[in-house]
Structure 1
Amino acid sequence: MPKTAVITGITGQDGSYLAELLLGKGYEVHGLMRRSSSFNTERIDHIYQDPHTPDRRLVLHHCDLSDGVALVNLLRDVRPDEVYNLGAQSHVRVSFDAPLYTGDVTGLGAVRLLEAIRASGVQTRLYQASSSEMFGSTPPPQNEATPFHPRSPYGCAKVMAYWSTVNYREAYGLFGVNGILFNHESPRRGETFVTRKITRAVARIQAGLQEHLYLGNLDAVRDWGYAPEYVEAMWLMLQRDEPDDYVVATGVAATVRDFLQAAFATVDLDWERYVRFDAKYERPSEVDALIGDASKAKSLLDWSAKVQFDELARIMVESDVRQLTDELSGHRVRVDR
């Protein structure tokens, strides 16, 4: 029989790539999505509506991480071999404006899922999406032994989810792993995240639809990788004989300014002509540098990143240029001045 997996947050960037990966490996995939008055399945429509995909290979359920009873019932019904918890309020800047919501969904939501696994009695393996934001102000390079010092409500909530996973592993023998993923991007990244905000603006500026791009701190150092590669690391963690925690990163440092330069260079533009500073995009407490050491993942999972930030910027810009071209050929688009 094929393996069965549950993915929370399946409509997000990582969830969509992970669903593709698992379907390609023959899994039956069950995706959890919040009930909404509008559809939010754009990232998975190409596989959910694919006429060549058997109807029961990908099933969507309206279920929320705030509803522990619904989680128990779903797990008992599906009895998955693997569970990937990717659901969260994942925007760091937004977490300062909505700390209670972020804590409930990103932190307590993970605890509800852990408790649902325990209460349902289903023997499954859990992947918990942890984050480099947990390290916060701890100097790089950061690895699995680096102390946490989060600098945002999002980072604090992820620390709660991380230690809860460890606790359920130690207290109940749950096969739970933490993937401490550093920044990973793609053309499917949400438009409010800085990388996608940049690449989308590059496409619009080149087309004459936007004059300026407003950003906050350009000196922040990040370790940017390619999301489709990172979801493979998630899967590999659950194939090991013993549960453990892993950093997933490129090990390459780049500032927001470096990403800007690479993105604008893709279309032969000088970023300094178009970028303006706006203090509203700065965080109340900044994380200066996140650079991961993924030596453990290389050694035990045989995983390493191949796409670096400059190639990533090119991939995203070229995708946004194509998308904008398609939009312009079909209908009018808004002009930002």
Structure 2
Amino acid sequence: MIRIDKTAFITGITGQDGSYLAELLLSKGYTVHALVRRASTSNTSRIDPLLQKIDEQGLPLYLHLGDLSDGEQISNIIFNLKPDEVYNLAAQSHVRVSYDCPAYTGDVTGIGATRILEAIRNCDKEIKYYQASSSEMFGSTRPPQNEMTAFHPRSPYACAKVYAHYLTQNYRESYNLFACSGILFNHESPRRGENFVTRKITRGIASILAGRQRGLVMGNLDAKRDWGYSPEYVQAMWMMLQQDKPDDYVIGTGESHSVREFLEIAFDYVGLDWQKYVTFDQKFFRPAEVDDLIADTRKAEAQLGWKPNVTFQELMKIMIDSDMRAIGMEPIGEGDDILAHIYPDRWWAVD
């Protein structure tokens, strides 16, 4: 692999995508700086393997305390680092929680992007910027959705993402910044937060098999999503900033599956009947549901040369095997075989 002598600044490195992106950039030879929120307990579990290699191998990874609500801190970091690329992945990213914390969601997820873009504009307009937009912005628009589809956000989180998305376009057009937005559809992995529905299911199945819980309590099973594999999606983020011109891209698989379908296939994978273990509670329903999301990725395929490799069924197996292993069980193993076949030299295990 060709080593790239660049510096990147990542917000949201402790999240699913941030941890994978950091590993990808480090594997390419980048020096990586990242923003980490101050917390009373450790919140770096996803990047702990990388942190151990800082002292052992001199891995060029540097953490800076702060968050997107602190514009002065953001400006200082970008002014001092003058990175080649900035990836804004930080957000209050849980849709259901955004109804309980709408002002906080708007400040961090929406206005936070403004603080970064202003810092870049005032510091160095040559810095390339990536904004993590979301398929939730499409809301109730009919699928499939592409870069020209109208937005109809159905949650405070989606509204904040629409603001940040349009602001990124505005700074690109007004100040000639190299600013891109990746409109990513749902993407999962073993690092997905435990309060997201896919991880709730796969982690719950592992706990049921281990005798640690009796069942799962779910909300709307009819909601349909376009689910992909997170490590592949962070590759698309990087590819966007390597283009000659900035633009926005929809990233997804082009397939839609319901939560019910995920349950059926996941429980079947471990030899259980999902209907014997699943109950329902109204509190897990959204006030305004997004019914169906399907990505039209023709632009990303044509201009970036990007396409997903991990299928919906393979993703589910990867996640269940990982969650079984995490609680000391022997995994079924198909998920490991899938990854070894598709990615024999997995870059997300940085040496």
- Could you tell me the TM-score, scaled by structure 1's length? 0.95
The correspondence of residues 196-275 of structure 1 with structure 2, limited to 5 A, is 196-275=199-278
Letter in 1 for 2:234: V
Instruction: Report the 3-state secondary structure (helix = DSSP H, G, I; strand = E; otherwise coil) of the residue aligned with 1:289.
Output: coil
Aligned amino acid, residue 249 of structure 1:
G
Kindly indicate whether the alpha-carbon contact (under 8 Å) linking 1:219 and 1:257 is maintained by their aligned counterparts in 2: yes
Q: Runs of 5+ in structure 1 lacking a partner?
A: 328-337
Q: Indicate if the aligned counterparts of 1:165 and 1:178 stay in contact, CA closer than 8 A.
A: yes
SS at match of 1:49: helix
Tell me the secondary structure at the aligned position of residue 46 of structure 2: coil
* Deviation at residue 55 of structure 1 after TM alignment: 3.2
Q: Is the 8 A contact 1:125 1:238 kept in 2?
A: yes
Identity of aligned residues (%): 63
Q: Tell me the residue number matched to 1:25.
A: 28
Q: Provide the residue aligned with 1:63 in structure 2.
A: 66
Moved more, 249-258 or 118-127: 118-127
Instruction: Give the one of 136, 140, 149 matched to 1:137.
Output: 140
State the shift of 1:123 in Å. 2.3
1:99-118 Cα distance to aligned partner (Å, 9 max, x none): 00000000000111111111
Distance 1:202 1:278, change over 3 A: same
1:94-143, Cα deviation, whole Å (9 max, x unpaired): 00111000000000001111111112235210000000000000000000
Indicate how the Cα distance of structure 1 residues 213 and 53 shifts in structure 2: closer, same or farther if over 3 A, else same: same
**How many Å separate the matches in 2 of 1:107 and 1:280?**
26
How far apart, in 2, do the equivalents of 1:158 and 1:236 lie?
A: 21
State yes or no: 1:284 paired with 2:287: yes
Aligned 1:304-323 pairs, distance under 5 A: 304-323=307-326
Q: Secondary structure at the match of 1:176?
A: strand
Q: Pick one of 4, 8, 12 that aligns with 1:5.
A: 8
Corresponding position of 1:111: 114
**Aligned residue in 1 for 2:296:** 293
How far, CA to CA, are the matches of 1:188 and 1:44 in structure 2? 10
CA contact (8 A) 2:95 2:156 kept: yes
The AA in structure 1 aligned to 2:192 is R
SS in structure 2 of the partner of residue 158 of structure 1: helix
Normalised by the size of structure 2, how large is the TM-score?
0.91
Distance 1:215 1:55 in 2: 45
Question: CA RMSD, aligned part only?
Answer: 1.4
Alpha-carbon distance in 1 for matches of 2:164, 2:152 = 14
Rounded Cα–Cα distance in structure 2 between residues aligned with 1:131 and 1:46: 28
Which residue of structure 2 lines up, in the alignment, with residue 91 of structure 1?
A: 94
AA aligned opposite 1:266: Y
Correspondence for 1:331: none
Which residue of structure 2 lines up, in the alignment, with residue 332 of structure 1?
Answer: none
Matched residue SS, 2:8: strand
Relative to structure 1, the CA distance from residue 259 to residue 114 in structure 2 (aligned partners, 3 Å threshold; closer, same or farther) is same
- Residue type matched to 1:16 in 2? S
SS at match of 1:315: helix
| CA distance in 1 between partners of 2:324 and 2:194 (Å) | 14
1:194 aligns with 2:235: no
Q: Residue in 2 aligned with 1:41?
A: 44
**Per-residue deviation, 1:56:** 5.7
Query: Are 1:126 and 1:238, in contact at CA under 8 Å, matched by a contact in 2?
Result: yes
Q: Could you tell me which residue of structure 2 aligns to residue 123 of structure 1? A: 126
Residue range with higher mean Cα deviation, 304-313 or 168-177: 304-313
**Does 260-269 or 282-291 show the bigger shift?**
260-269
* Counterpart secondary structure, 2:212: coil
Helix, strand or coil for the counterpart of 1:325? coil
Distance across 1 between alignment mates of 2:132 and 2:38: 22
CA deviations over 1:206-264 (Å, ceiling 9, x no partner): 11111110010000010000000000000000000000000000001100011111211
**Contact 2:79–2:119 (CA<8 Å) still a contact in 1?**
no
